[in-house]
Amino acid sequence: MSRNISLYEKIREDILNRRFDEEEKLTEVKLAKLYGVSRTPIREVLKQLEFEYLIKNGHIYKPSPEDYRNLFEMRILIETHAVEKAVLLYGKEDMNALKQSIERAKEGPEEETLSANKFFHEKLVEAIRNPFLSETYERLNSVIYFFSRTVVEKQRPNLIEEHEEVVEAIEERNGEKAKRLIRLHLEKDLEFTLYYM
């Protein structure tokens, strides 16, 4: 296993890449043997993946398109609230961090674009400064990863340009415009990814 990929990321990726049979029970013993680690880190990974709606009762959770729409509705509510707060709170340093992530996404190979995309959205959510909402967002990690990977790998048109438009709206201190743009951006991500399911 690459030192750059954590056990959690490796198992999550293997699940999303359908390495495991949908009917297969993912036990600590089986996974510990497969990944060459003790049961303790496996136990922690399974807890995290269950927290993120990827595993349920030891089996891979297969959300329906309707489940994904419902989960995305929650994400949209959080991120539209986040950009509204960013309009009020974000200064030059925060805006520079968002802009740098856009540049990284433009220049990078696929993995770098994926990482920069993740940073961009998490940076927006930071503006909320509400630990309860942040925890709710964190629960969507695996769902977000699945969708982000699809839009990056399949090269959804205007993905990065839409990030730039959101940043411009925040800089203009135009909350309504920023909310409309982030909602539209996420709705396009959802429809694009569901098309490839």
Residue-wise pLDDT for 70-112, tens only, equals: 999 999 999 999 999 999 999 999 999 999 999 999 998 999 9
Whether CATH 3.30.70 fits 7-60 = no
Residue 17 has pLDDT above 90, yes or no: no
The answer to whether 137 and 78 have CB atoms below 8 angstroms apart is yes
What is the architecture of the domain spanning 65-195?
Up-down Bundle (1.20)
Residue 2 has pLDDT above 50, yes or no: no
Residue-wise pLDDT for 127-165, tens only, equals: 999 999 999 999 999 999 999 999 999 999 999 999 999
Model-level pTM greater than 0.85? yes
Position 5: which residue type? I
Residue-wise pLDDT for 25-45, tens only, equals: 999 999 999 999 999 999 999
Residue 180 has pLDDT above 90, yes or no: yes
Q: Find the angle CA(71)-CA(75)-CA(77) to the nearest 5 degrees.
A: 115
Determine the Cα–Cα distance for residues 140 and 137; give it in Å rounded to an integer: 5
For the chain, the structural domain boundaries read 7-60, 65-195
Residue 195 has pLDDT above 90, yes or no: yes
Confidence of residue 3 (pLDDT cuts 50, 70, 90): very low
φ and ψ of 46, to 5 deg: -65, -40
Residue 184 has pLDDT above 80, yes or no: yes
